[in-house]
């Protein structure tokens, strides 16, 4: 039977790799150490596949066609592309996809009446894949299937719906007869304000509140959050914790240990790395 062998939550921001020199070195080093420890644990779990719970930033989906949930069916993903690599100061590279796995998830969601995913055969990933995976999978050894959740163009799927979507993904994995070992990684959040009049604000108190609930697997207060409440306390970037709810929904009862948390003003993001375990 297929199984979930690892689960992690991280932030993503282009400046994490794009402008490492502008931060306080101690904050940066603690965050990088958190990524390094996540990578060590991920490697030890020996996954055959990584399902990435991520979000678009309007580079793929325009307002003429905006899916709530979209599964990637591409053969490969440029993460980062040549253009993105320059900004994120990474080497351009191509990550293998797993379209057959993605298609099986898509069809199961439709047939079981669980999740009506949109799907895409070609995606233009940005920092949501490239930055965290530059730390967590520097050798590009494991294929990925991305699940994009609308976190950037309201109205958004509710936190509870994102958790239920992840619940379906977890059930789908455990229903497979194969012996595949699946890792789940969500990226995004925690608090940050991007492009709004409050751009640059970070709310460490709220970030700690989020992390404390995840540490205890006490998700109900998070699932009850409205869009407006997240916008007020976590900013428009805070809406990305929907991706985190997806992973946590897939592994009921699992708890998340924050290996690092740094409110990095220069990267305008409350940055965390979280290991999720039974």
**185, 50 in Cβ contact below 8 A?**
yes
- The closest of 261, 249, 254 to 223, measured between CA atoms, is 249
d(Cα 176, Cα 186) in Å, to the nearest integer?
22
d(Cα 9, Cα 4) in Å, to the nearest integer?
14
When asked if residue 59 is in the footprint of another protein (CB under 8 A), the reply is yes
Q: How far is the CB of 265 from another protein (least distance, A)?
A: 8
When asked if residue 221 is in the footprint of another protein (CB under 8 A), the reply is no
**52, 79 in Cβ contact below 8 A?**
no
Of 138, 195, 204, 221, the residue at the interface with another protein (CB under 8 A) is: 195
d(Cα 246, Cα 185) in Å, to the nearest integer?
9
When asked if residue 236 is in the footprint of another protein (CB under 8 A), the reply is yes
Of 40, 46, 62, 122, the residue at the interface with another protein (CB under 8 A) is: 62
Q: With CB under 8 A, what is the number of residues at the site for another protein?
A: 22
Residue span binding another protein (CB under 8 A) among the ranges 28-36, 54-62, 113-121, 134-142:
54-62
When asked if residue 268 is in the footprint of another protein (CB under 8 A), the reply is yes
Indicate the SS3 state at residue 153: coil
**93, 47 in Cβ contact below 8 A?**
no
When asked if residue 154 is in the footprint of another protein (CB under 8 A), the reply is yes
Cα–Cα–Cα angle for 17, 10, 159, rounded to 5 degrees: 135
Calculate the CA 262 to chain-centre distance: 17
Quick one: 156 or 169, whose CB is closer to another protein? 156
Residue span binding another protein (CB under 8 A) among the ranges 55-63, 113-121, 127-135, 168-176:
55-63
Q: How far is the CB of 231 from another protein (least distance, A)?
A: 9
**Residue numbers at the binding site for another protein (CB under 8 A):** 57-59, 62-64, 83, 152-155, 194-197, 199-200, 227, 236, 265-266, 268
């Amino acid at each position: 039977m297929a199984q979930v062998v690892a689960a992690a939550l991280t932030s993503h921001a282009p400046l994490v790799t794009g402008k490492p020199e502008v931060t306080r070195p101690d904050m940066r080093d603690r965050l990088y150490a958190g990524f390094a420890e996540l990578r060590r644990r991920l490697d030890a779990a020996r996954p055959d596949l990584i399902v990435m719970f991520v979000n678009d930033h309007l580079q793929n989906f325009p307002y003429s066609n905006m899916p709530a949930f979209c599964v990637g069916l591409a053969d490969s993903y440029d993460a980062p592309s040549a253009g993105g690599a320059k900004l994120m100061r990474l080497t351009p590279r191509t990550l293998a996809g797993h379209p057959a796995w993605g298609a099986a998830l898509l069809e199961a969601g439709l047939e079981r009446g669980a999740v009506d995913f949109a799907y895409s055969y070609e995606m233009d990933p940005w920092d949501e894949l490239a930055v965290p995976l530059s730390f967590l999978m520097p050798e590009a050894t494991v294929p990925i299937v991305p699940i994009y959740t609308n976190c950037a163009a309201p109205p958004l799927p509710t936190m509870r719906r994102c958790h239920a979507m992840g619940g379906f993904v977890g059930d789908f994995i455990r229903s497979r007869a194969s012996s595949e070992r699946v890792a789940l990684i969500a990226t995004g959040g925690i608090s940050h304000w991007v492009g709004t009049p409050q751009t640059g604000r970070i709310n460490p108190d709220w970030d700690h509140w989020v992390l404390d609930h995840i540490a205890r697997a006490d998700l109900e207060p998070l699932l009850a959050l409205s869009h407006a409440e997240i916008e007020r306390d976590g900013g428009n970037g805070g809406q990305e914790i929907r991706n985190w709810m997806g992973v946590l929904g897939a592994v009921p009862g699992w708890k998340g240990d924050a290996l690092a948390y740094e409110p990095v003003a220069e990267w305008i993001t409350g940055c965390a790395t979280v290991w999720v375990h039974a």
